Structure 1
Amino acid sequence: MSPRADPPSPTLAVYYGPATEQALATLATFPRVAVQAPLYSPEQLAALRRGGTRVLAYLSVGEDHPLGDWACVPGAAPYHQQPNTEWASVVVDAAHPLWADVLLTRAAQILEHTDGLLLDTLDSADPVATLALLRQLRGAFPDAALWANRGFALWPELPEVLRGAPDHGVLFEALSTRHTPCYALHDPPGLAYTAHWLAEVRRSGLPVHALDYADRPELAAAARARAAALGLRTFVSDRDLVWPGGWPIPEPVGPTPLEALL
């Protein structure tokens, strides 16, 4: 671990809560935000973009789930496979043509008022079929930003798909901390795993921003300390991503938080 560095502020906020006045004001302070666009009015999204914030709309690629007007009754669609009870979603058959139609329709709807997509659940379905869906999305919306949440199961092909978008990158979720089965710093094998994949992402040349989880200030500080030591920015929030500004960044005092937890 390198000497302590003051953690830089995140430049990407990930917020899946409602579009309250306070949330909108906080999100407007970030250069880039990822939100669940169906929860916002076109006017709210336009206001964020007018202020200079680039808005990424969450889009689940490998799982179906209810969101806004998007209904999801497990087993009701021919592309549904096994349920993911932890998130009330359903893993899909990514090769099914009806799922491709649904995904493209949803993307068109949310891209009407946003700058691009945050592509999630990339590791849930068949990787070959998932890559084919991503290529369809890129071809259908060539001007849209494409950011991937992890997607390591799609390596080494994923970087080529993302680089076709004018604004692209990787959101490295749970770089240093987790929320399940409890909020905690990764154990040494887990830290080694994320360090390995960070090196792979950087080798690809893709921009990367981290996302971590915490339920207490010292865990949030530990996540920021490791990210800073790795030369990254991280947005630290709760499991449900309902804090628009994430954990506040306090003035550094005492020992390096990461070292204190190891």
Structure 2
Amino acid sequence: MTREPIAFYYGAGELERLSRFDKVVLQPDFYSRQELDLLRERGVQTLGYLSLTEDVGPPAPWQREERNPDWGGAFVYTGHPGWVAHVVGQATSAMAGGFSGLFLDTLNIEFNYPEDLPHLLYLIAAIREEAKPDYLLANRGFGLLPQLADLVDGILFESFSARWVDTESYGPWPDDVLEVHAEYAERLLGMDIDVYALDYAEDEELTEFAYRRAHEFGMLCFVTDRVLSKI
């Protein structure tokens, strides 16, 4: 059986389908140790989802007043000692629960909170040191380059070619955005890391466009829906 490189799935179960991939990004709370061990036995590297700059939990001293307008989580003061301890604890728990590695999300804060970038690099280094993941995959984080490439094993370019326009529709990026993304991709491919693309589409034409463009840039690609419910 030919294995596919990577999948992002934020639902539960589907172990047979997930077994087709080399790497899968999953929500830690949705999988038991037994399920993760089964995937490991089948040669699948499981990466637990971890948000580094947004908190969907109850009110806490590290939270900012501002919230993500799309998903509702509170932005955080990334360098707050309580937040660092909280995230490192989540990472350690995920690894103890059977995950092989971690997927680090919400790293693109360079425009809203550039002052937090050094704290974010420290947090990633602390996760690497304390949780000891076999594999760290970062989502974007372009404002952290080139230092980020020394801390992780791979970087994901989310929404490289295609995007969700609203909750009901999908489409390609405009040409000017695609050109900027191409420049970032070329920079990433010059670094000693794995590079992946994650795109959003539902129709066959847009899906094929995303896979074809990722292939042109030497990137491994996965295409899914807005809430990452497809495998």
Instruction: Quote the residue 1:208 is aligned against.
Output: 195
1:10 Cα deviation from its structure 2 partner: 4.3
Larger strand fraction of residues: 2
The answer to whether 1:171 aligns with 2:156 is: yes
| Gap runs ≥5 in structure 1 | 1-7, 66-71, 163-167, 246-262
Instruction: Quote the residue 1:139 is aligned against.
Output: 129
Distance 2:205 2:48 in 1: 30
Corresponding letter in the other structure for 2:71: W
CA contact (8 A) 2:4 2:20 kept: no
Instruction: Quote the residue 1:185 is aligned against.
Output: 172
Relative contact order (C-alpha < 8 Å, sep 6+): which is higher?
1
- 1:80 maps to which of 52, 63, 76: 63
The secondary structure found in structure 2 opposite 1:11 is strand
Corresponding letter in the other structure for 2:143: A
The secondary structure found in structure 2 opposite 1:99 is helix
1:107-145 residue CA offsets vs partner (Å, 9 max, x unmatched) = 111111110100000113521111110111111133431
Name the Cα RMSD after superposition: 1.6
Instruction: Quote the residue 1:12 is aligned against.
Output: 6
Corresponding letter in the other structure for 1:56: L
Instruction: Quote the residue 1:111 is aligned against.
Output: 95
CA contact (8 A) 2:139 2:156 kept: yes
CA contact (8 A) 1:116 1:146 kept: yes
Taking structure 2 as the reference length, the TM-score comes to: 0.91
Corresponding letter in the other structure for 1:235: F
1:29-49 residue CA offsets vs partner (Å, 9 max, x unmatched) = 101111111111111111111
CA contact (8 A) 2:102 2:133 kept: no
Structure index of larger Rg: 1
Taking structure 1 as the reference length, the TM-score comes to: 0.81
The secondary structure found in structure 1 opposite 2:190 is helix
Instruction: Quote the residue 1:97 is aligned against.
Output: 81
Runs of 4+ in 1 over 6 A off after TM superposition: none
Identity of aligned residues (%): 34
1:60-83 residue CA offsets vs partner (Å, 9 max, x unmatched) = 011112xxxxxx13xx10001111
Distance 2:224 2:4 in 1: 11
Instruction: Quote the residue 1:260 is aligned against.
Output: none
1:189 Cα deviation from its structure 2 partner: 1.1
| Gap runs ≥5 in structure 2 | none
